[in-house]
Amino acid sequence: MLHEVPGKEDILLASDRIKPFIHRTAVLTSKAIDSIAGIQIFFKCENFQKAGAFKARGATNAVFSYSDTELANGVATHSSGNHAAALSMAASNRGIPAYIVMPSNSSKVKIAAVESYGGIITFCEPTLMAREETLARVLSKENALEVHPYNNSRIIAGQATACLELIEDSPELDVIMAPVGGGGLLSGTALTSFFFSGHSKVIAAEPAGANDAYQSFYQKKFIPSIDPQTIADGLRTSLGSITFPIILEKVSDILLAGEGDIVSAMKLIWERMKIIVEPSSAVPLAALLNHKKDFRGLKVGIILSGGNVDLSDLPW
**Backbone dihedral angles phi then psi of residue 123, each to the nearest 5 degrees:** -85, 150
CB of 312 to a second copy, least distance (A): 6
CB of 67 to a second copy, least distance (A): 29
Q: DSSP assignment, residue 23?
A: -
For a second copy, give the closer residue by CB, 58 or 306: 306
First to last CA, the chain: 47
Which residue, 125 or 271, is less far from a second copy as judged by CB? Answer: 271
Helix (H, G, I), strand (E, B) or coil at 33: helix
- Alpha-carbon distance of 261 to 257, in angstroms, equals 6
Can you tell me the distance from the alpha carbon of 27 to that of 167, in angstroms, rounded to the nearest whole number?
A: 10
Is the distance from CB of 218 to CB of 251 less than 8 angstroms? no
Select 183 or 234, whichever has its Cβ closest to a second copy.
234
The kind and range of the H/E element at 101 are: strand 98-103
C-beta closer to a second copy: residue 36 or 248? 36
Q: Which is nearer to a second copy, 14 or 53 (CB)?
A: 53
The side-by-side arrangement of strands in the sheet containing 175-179 is: 27-28, 40-45, 299-304, 175-179, 201-207, 253-257
Distance CA 291, CA 253 (A): 12
Q: What is the CA radius of gyration of the chain?
A: 18
Distance CA 142, CA 177 (A): 39
Asked whether 152 and 242 are in contact (CB, 8 A), the reply is yes
Residue 5 CB, nearest distance to a second copy (Å)? 32
In the complex with a second copy, the residue whose CB is nearer, 115 or 142, is 115
Rounded least distance, CB 192 to a second copy, Å: 24
Q: How near is the Cβ of 32 to a second copy at its closest, in Å?
A: 9
Q: How far is the CB of 117 from a second copy (least distance, A)?
A: 12
Q: How far is the CB of 48 from a second copy (least distance, A)?
A: 6
Report the half-sphere exposure of 189 (CA within 13 A, side-chain side).
Answer: 29
Question: Hey, how many other C-beta atoms are within 10 angstroms of the C-beta on 5?
Answer: 17
Specify the residue, 45 or 254, whose C-beta has the smaller distance to a second copy: 45
| Nearer CB in complex with a second copy: 46/206 | 46
Contacts with a second copy by CB under 8 A lie at: 26, 47-48, 52, 267, 270-271, 274-277, 307, 311-312, 314, 316
Residue 302 Cβ, how far from a second copy at the closest point, in Å? 16
Beta strands 175-179 and 299-304, pairing class: parallel
